[in-house]
Amino acid sequence: MKLCLSCGSGGHLSQILELMNAFEEHDIFFVLVKSPITKNLSNIGRIKYIHEPMKTIKVWIFNFEMVQLLFYYISLIIPCFFIFIQERPDVIICHGGEASLLLSYFGKMLGKKVVYIETVERISSLSGTGKLLYAIADLFLVQWESLQIKYPKSKYWGRIL
């Protein structure tokens, strides 16, 4: 089985790396933002890089953060689509991060399985990515019982990360 592991760099990446033993029998590849943290990770396997978001621009009193975020995701559509077509994963496993949304939606449209693992820091509410993937994930894992009660489609298997 071919698995796509998509997560942000930093905390999300360190948490997903804790699960590597669970994936050792499968063909895996990562989709990560190219950054100083991720560029030296060739020892973890195949990595497909996407570009990192621009820094937020503030002009006078107007914050362009949402506009920039929208354009950033639009700029990721083609690279994520080509990664998906080139690799053809059977399952997309996401733990937050920039490409997780697009890869999950591409996968779902093409009949692939989507697994989302909510970060351990989320105790009482879902992350933005979690809210957007809750409806489409085939398996939605939370790490706190309080979240599983609040979001009944989710599964609580204890702290997995």
Provide the CATH number for the domain around residue 61. 3.40.50.2000
Residue 104: domain span: 2-156
- pLDDT at residue 161 in the model: 60
Please tell me the distance from the alpha carbon of residue 161 to that of residue 156, in angstroms, as a whole number: 12
Say whether pLDDT at 59 is over 90.
Answer: no
Nearest to 98 by CA among 28, 30, 14, 22: 30
Higher pLDDT pick, 45 / 129: 129
Say whether pLDDT at 144 is over 70.
Answer: yes
Residue 44 within a domain: yes
Least confident of 10-14, 23-27, 102-106: 10-14
Helices (H), 54-126: 65-87, 100-109
Average pLDDT, the chain: 84
Residue 15 within a domain: yes
Higher pLDDT pick, 91 / 34: 91
Helix (H/G/I), strand (E/B), else coil: 36: coil
Residue 119 within a domain: yes
Residue 52 within a domain: yes
Q: 17-53, pLDDT tens digit by residue?
A: 888 888 889 999 999 888 777 777 767 778 898 877 6
Residue 161 within a domain: no
- pLDDT at residue 62 in the model: 59
Distances (CA, A) of 83 to 7, 31, 107, 137: 15, 8, 11, 20
Residue 102 within a domain: yes
Residue 53 CB burial class (10 angstroms; 0-12, 13-18, ≥19)? middle
Least confident of 60-74, 84-98, 146-160: 60-74
Domain count, the chain: 1
Please tell me the distance from the alpha carbon of residue 156 to that of residue 75, in angstroms, as a whole number: 34
Q: Which two tokens stand for residue 76?
A: 């990721």
* pTM, to two decimals: 0.85
